[in-house]
């Protein structure tokens, strides 16, 4: 069986049984024949289930080997994620602000002890928000802030965003919420953030 050359090298090292009908539309129409023979080139026939071209069956003769092959099952509803179920907003230690279009919100923490941790959690009531973290040292040479966490657009429709940063130097660390990319939508943001010493950090 010829494996398409544009697959990742790690993927080529694995045995793939393609869903032929869907795969035709995505990778150059591989052959629907010969894959059982190809499996037997790498797997002993006594180890390969009969329905895949080998000799192995269940004790009752079932060629699908249900006793040891675990197939996909429906996902329990308790694992479903739902939009709109905002939990962070209900916490007592959370702060809230509303960002207008073309605006930014900066929250600065002064770190006085090296290797402290800046920890945060936030969510928006709807839509997404740009997020980044900047650092500015205490030295007179540290005029321009350094971007420690590059700006990234984050959607908290399903769950709040949590994160932390090890503050290796003393200075000012600034969390930036940026809504300047939109000219229509305001954003309601709930957040909590704090500086914890290496001794008190929950990490």
pLDDT tens digit string along 70-119?
Answer: 778 888 888 777 666 678 888 889 999 999 999 999 999 999 999 999 99
**pTM for the predicted model, two decimal places:** 0.59
In this model, does residue 18 exceed pLDDT 80? no
What does the alpha-carbon distance between residue 185 and residue 100 come to, in Å, rounded to a whole number? Answer: 7
pLDDT in tens, 48-82: 999 888 999 999 999 988 888 877 888 888 877 76
Query: Quick one: CA torsion of 26, 32, 37, 38, rounded to 10 degrees?
Result: -10
CATH number for 95-196: choose from 2.60.120.680, 3.40.1010.10, 3.40.50.2300, 3.40.50.10680. Answer: 2.60.120.680
In this model, does residue 33 exceed pLDDT 80? no
pLDDT of residue 1: 44
- pLDDT (mean) for 9-27: 45
> Any idea where the domains of the chain sit in the sequence?
5-73, 95-196
In this model, does residue 166 exceed pLDDT 70? yes
- pLDDT (mean) for 15-39: 56
pLDDT of residue 74: 87
């Amino acid at each position: 069986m010829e494996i398409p050359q544009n697959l990742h090298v790690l993927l080529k090292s694995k045995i793939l049984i393609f869903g032929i009908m869907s795969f035709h539309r995505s990778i150059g129409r591989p052959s629907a024949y010969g894959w059982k023979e190809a499996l037997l080139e790498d797997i002993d026939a006594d180890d390969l289930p009969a329905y895949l071209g080998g000799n192995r069956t269940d004790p009752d003769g079932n060629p699908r080997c249900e006793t040891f092959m675990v197939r996909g099952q429906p996902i329990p509803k308790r694992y479903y994620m739902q939009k709109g179920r905002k939990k962070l907003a209900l916490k007592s230690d959370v702060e809230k602000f509303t960002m207008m279009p073309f605006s930014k919100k900066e929250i600065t923490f002064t770190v006085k002890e090296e290797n402290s941790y800046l920890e945060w959690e936030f969510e928006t009531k709807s839509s997404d928000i740009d997020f980044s973290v900047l650092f500015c040292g205490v030295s007179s040479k540290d005029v321009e802030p350094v971007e420690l966490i590059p700006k990234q657009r984050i959607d908290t429709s399903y769950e709040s965003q949590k994160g932390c940063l090890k503050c290796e130097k003393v200075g000012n660390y600034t969390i930036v919420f940026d809504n300047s990319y939109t000219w229509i939508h305001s954003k309601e943001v709930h957040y909590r953030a704090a500086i914890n010493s290496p001794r008190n950090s929950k990490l």
